């Protein structure tokens, strides 16, 4: 049985202007989960990067957590995940699909995107504010896969 908790990052708000009205909006969340023993993963271990985009989380499978050195990590976009995974701490994945453990999570702000809908963007740059993973994260579709790059303090 999966253990979860409502340990969301403190609510951070950002100023936004929509239709000429300025106000504050809650910043969306992200999470990085270590996923082991997934039957469809020949390596036996990968990391899922989840980015909250409304009622779902856009999700990428990464071979490793991006280091803040600007070196790209290859990624594959996978099916959107439920927002409940943003609060997941550790536990078995249903259907015998392995075990997932939270590595980090927090809030993010979109800095740029090539589509107004972040769920459809093929180039997305976000500022991450996690406990251990923080900085400017760039996700970019390159050929058949994605390149994910993190630069600390950017």
Q: pLDDT for 114-146, tens place per residue?
A: 999 999 999 999 999 999 999 999 999 999 999
Torsional sign, CA 151, 67, 124, 144: positive
Rounded Cα distance between 143 and 123, Å, is 12
Q: pTM of this prediction?
A: 0.82
How many CB atoms sit inside 10 A of residue 133's CB? 22
The torsion angle over the Cα atoms of residues 31, 33, 38 and 43, rounded to 10 degrees, is: 120
How many CB atoms sit inside 10 A of residue 47's CB? 21
pLDDT in tens, 62-96: 999 999 888 999 999 999 999 999 998 898 888 88
pLDDT in tens, 14-50: 444 444 555 456 799 999 999 999 888 888 899 999 9
């Amino acid at each position: 049985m999966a253990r979860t908790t409502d340990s969301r990052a403190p609510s951070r708000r950002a100023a936004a202007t929509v239709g000429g009205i300025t106000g504050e909006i809650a910043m969306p969340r992200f999470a990085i989960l270590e996923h082991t023993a997934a039957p469809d993963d020949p390596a036996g271990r990968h990391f899922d990067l989840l980015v909250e985009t409304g009622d779902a989380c856009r999700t990428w499978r990464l071979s490793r957590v991006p280091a803040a050195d600007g070196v790209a990590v290859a990624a594959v976009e996978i099916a959107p995940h439920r927002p409940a995974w943003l609060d997941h701490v550790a536990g078995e994945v249903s259907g015998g699909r392995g075990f997932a453990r939270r590595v980090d999570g927090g809030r993010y702000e979109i800095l740029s995107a090539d589509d107004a809908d972040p769920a459809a963007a093929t180039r997305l740059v976000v500022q991450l504010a996690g406990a251990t993973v923080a900085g400017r994260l760039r996700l970019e579709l390159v050929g058949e896969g994605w390149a994910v790059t993190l630069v600390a303090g950017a």
